[in-house]
Chain A
Amino acid sequence: MDAHRWLTFCRILSVFVFAGLVTGCVENDYPSSLRYPLRDDPILVKPLETTPTGFDKPGELFDLLKKVRDEKDKNNILPIRLVSVQKRSVEALLRQLFGRPRFPQVNGVDPAIIEELKLDEDTLAEGSRLYRLHCLHCHGLTGNGRGPTAPWVNPHPRDYRPGIFKFTSSGQIEQQRKPLRSDLVRTLRQGIEGTSMPSFGLLPDDEIEALVSYVIHLSIRGQTEMLVLSDLMEKNKAREQKELSPEEQRKEVEAELANLQEFALQVVENVAREWQQAQSSLIVPLTEAPENLRTAGASPTSEVAKESIRNGFELFMSAKAGCGGCHQDFGRKERFLNDAWGTIVRPADLVKGVYRGGRRPIDLYWRIHSGVNGAGMPAIFNGLRPSDSELKALAAIDKLDGQTKREAENLLAEIKRLQLPKEELDVLLTDYDKFTRKDELKNQLASQRTWDIVNFLLVLPYPKMRQAHGIDIH
């Protein structure tokens, strides 16, 4: 009997020892030996030209991406065709620049940029740990948006590597447009409504900041990798045309690789600078939004709001803004497009009242102002600027008739809403050439028109509002 008791005691003891042992070697982090694998999927130079007829079905993401490869040399680059010595040196170079998943870094960049973008090693290490916890199974190890869950959610998780992010508020030019940190923070906090990107709003602020830093790290790394690989592929293509002997080829490849580091450093520097510049290029609306958008409880049925919404409706339907070309039947009609990542998107159904980039007026303003990057939604701000001739025609408004007259009257009404000083308005309406603030006026008008569209979009989903504003969508 003593044996039994003794045995029981030993067993219970051993349980705790075992528990201690097991818990002792648990690491909630990437294995320290793990490396970022080198990219081997095709690099899409521009969206595919085929017209998709619908979304890919669950689980078919990889079939879809195979189509990208099948397009052959038309508009993509296949880094898998690089020779192994090239791949090896690129991989080593990237490791040197960006570290490993457990110890991410961004090297070769001005320390000021590192500081501004919060890309220091401690933040990144924390970010990488959290990324593994919360993001990895969708967004993947390298941020390629191809984690195990990726084919099973649509819209598919974002691929950070092209350095394109949909919902940004930066005023950079289209090819370089990077998000502000605050854009990424907002996406993490709010999630993306109507997609599988959940809200991480309940995480503490510092964790969200660390995650944003790590996403920026992955994006810079991915873009650098993409550009370096593209460059090497270009060189390979050029060399193939030269018909060199294998020996000569080998030598040339080696010579190229010797210069690789310099090139890569330049790329990193550029990409990082784009990110840095984005941080100070916030789009600030030039005109104040109508009162009903600004103030809680302000009625969208006031006369000012009515005018603005009406104008927004007309702009939406007009060729000038061109919204209706894609958002046919206010987006209710399904149309499918290829996006910059090789996946399929559709223009949003604007009657649903689901706004992926956020439902604040400013969010919609930014979307309209500079489009949705990568998704085929263009920036229409410039298109909303009235032309000189339109403005000039105001002086002779009485002599116009028909369609042109109505347009001029509308424009006049819009200008009146800007509440210019009396004397300026007089100059504008009598002698346009003497008007000094032409460009500013055009921008202001475009801004006001953007707000009008925002105003219209915000009432569009509500049947009662549509009724009040005479918007008929049937």
Chain B
Amino acid sequence: MKVDYTTEAPVIQERLSLAQIQELVAKPLDTKPDKKFFIALTISGSLLLFGAVLLAITFYKGIGLWGNNEPVGWGFPIINFVFWVGIGHAGTLISAILFLLRQKWRTGIARFAEAMTIFAVMCAGIFPIIHLGRPWLAGYLVPYPNQHGMWVNFTSPLVWDVFAVSTYFTVSLIFWYTGLIPDFATLRDRTASKIKKSIYSIFSLGWRHSNRHWQHYEKAYVLLAGFATPLVLSVHTIVSFDFAVAILPGWHSTIFPPYFVAGAIFSGFAMVVTVLIFVRKIFDLQSIITLNHLEKMNKVIIATSLMVGYSYAMEFFIAWYSGVPEEQFVFINRAFGPYAWAYWTMVSCNVLFPQLFWFRKIRRSVPAMLAIVILVNVGMWFERFVIVVTSLHRDFLPSSWGMFIPTIYDIGILLGSFGLFFTLVILFTKSLPVISISEIKAVAEGAQPSYHGGVNHE
């Protein structure tokens, strides 16, 4: 393999003019959706409907329909919650952290990943609320002066979750919308339809591409990215606190915060790659979302896979090193107990299979990477399953040991959340530009003045 390091690889393949780029990105918004679109929508919509019906039955009958029991009181809802919040993390990582690291290749995928963040957090938010059993009382989680004269317990990680997830959702939404404003303005000036024009005008807020605005806008983007970066870390950290502040062996481990964050980014990137593979193909965006992008994302996947593997190893090592018999038992039970199959699914999907990405050929082969990223998502779901179920089903008292067996309602609602996610993703691809038009134009070849980068700049 011969690489020329003296010049930066261009972000966009083929030399496209600014107008061509815009046309490529904005075209799907004008054309009528085709058959494939409706087929995809039908599949995801039926999944959503299936989940919704099972959820409605759960509401009617109560959460006794689920597999949750004593001692496994945290079944699927918490697993799914952590899973979906994790999926969301990739979006903010791409839009904020890679922005701060000045990785230009992020522009091609940032908008899409941010949208996925928002949809994933929406899916995640459902689960703790339905897990309440009486979800209409969820308002009690919010501190407001009330007739009971009581306040929420701010020292509880479950209340931290409320703040973390709602802040995360709000900030992601603001970040996303801020990025969309210039694109709405571009669409407004581009469209011929009067109705579309007024809708775009409203959402563009009358943006004029003025440089006096761009200046503050860029500053605001840096500030937002600067906030979103610790925010995204804090959200999964707080999710990990849900487990780690408890004294249950297998939950209480100080490495949980960075371990959960790494795992979240890992699964999120896998999900982004999964969806992008289809989107770039269907909307003909191969020259903007190139194989280089996917390869870079696969590199992030292998890096985070190693971090997750490091955490598994460290947990095992310290459990032995600690000399605490309960800790040691939990980990032996994980690997060889009744849920050993889940544990080894997790290890192989999360640590072993991603190692294939060490090979450049596999990193750049679309079918191979699709298989691996789907396995990664399976593995990451099982990671949360292992953490929640294996730690709870064998607690301190052998007399209260039990097993957890999910019911059709558990599985149906999980499928329903996938339905919701993909329905939103599919609708998004047809209603908004999936790539930030203004950002991608800015990194096109010849888009920046040539003197910039010369000596006369101080």
Q: Do A and B bind each other?
A: no
